[in-house]
């Protein structure tokens, strides 16, 4: 036969169970919200992303390299880009970054 808990221990056990249920309920609500958010993102939405073109990739490389250069070197690279194009500017920026 099961032993009965004294009054204070029983009350504490009930409070612990209630707190656990409250935490579980909160967690389930958050999980349900996240699942509903995931459902809103369909494969159709993912297909609407803009494809990464060669031009866009070159622009990203150029921006990433030029961002770290000091002002004078940056001006040299920008002048070369205006004159000869982004590929030459990327090469020059890599050289300047190495030196």
pLDDT values of the chain reduced to their tens digit, one per residue, 99 residues: 566 667 888 889 899 999 999 999 999 899 888 887 776 666 666 567 778 899 999 999 999 999 999 999 999 999 999 999 999 999 999 999 888
Q: How high is the pLDDT of residue 44?
A: 65
Distance CA 10, CA 55 (A): 70
Give the sign of the dihedral formed by CA 5, CA 8, CA 9, CA 12.
Answer: positive
pLDDT at residue 46 in the model: 59
What's the whole-model pTM score? 0.52
Q: What is the pLDDT of residue 94?
A: 94
Helices (H), the chain: 7-40, 43-47, 54-67, 71-84, 86-98
pLDDT at 96: 93
Find all residues with CB under 8 Å of 27, minimum gap 6, and list them. Answer: none
């Amino acid at each position: 036969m099961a032993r009965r808990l004294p009054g204070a221990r029983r009350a504490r056990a009930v409070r612990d169970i209630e707190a656990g249920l409250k935490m579980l309920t909160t967690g389930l609500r958050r999980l349900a919200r996240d699942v509903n958010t995931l459902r809103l993102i369909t494969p159709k939405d993912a297909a609407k992303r803009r494809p990464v073109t060669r031009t866009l990739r070159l622009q990203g490389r150029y921006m990433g390299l030029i961002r770290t250069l000091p002002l004078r070197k940056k001006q040299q690279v920008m002048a070369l880009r205006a004159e000869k194009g982004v590929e030459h500017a990327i090469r020059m920026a890599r050289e300047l970054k190495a030196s």
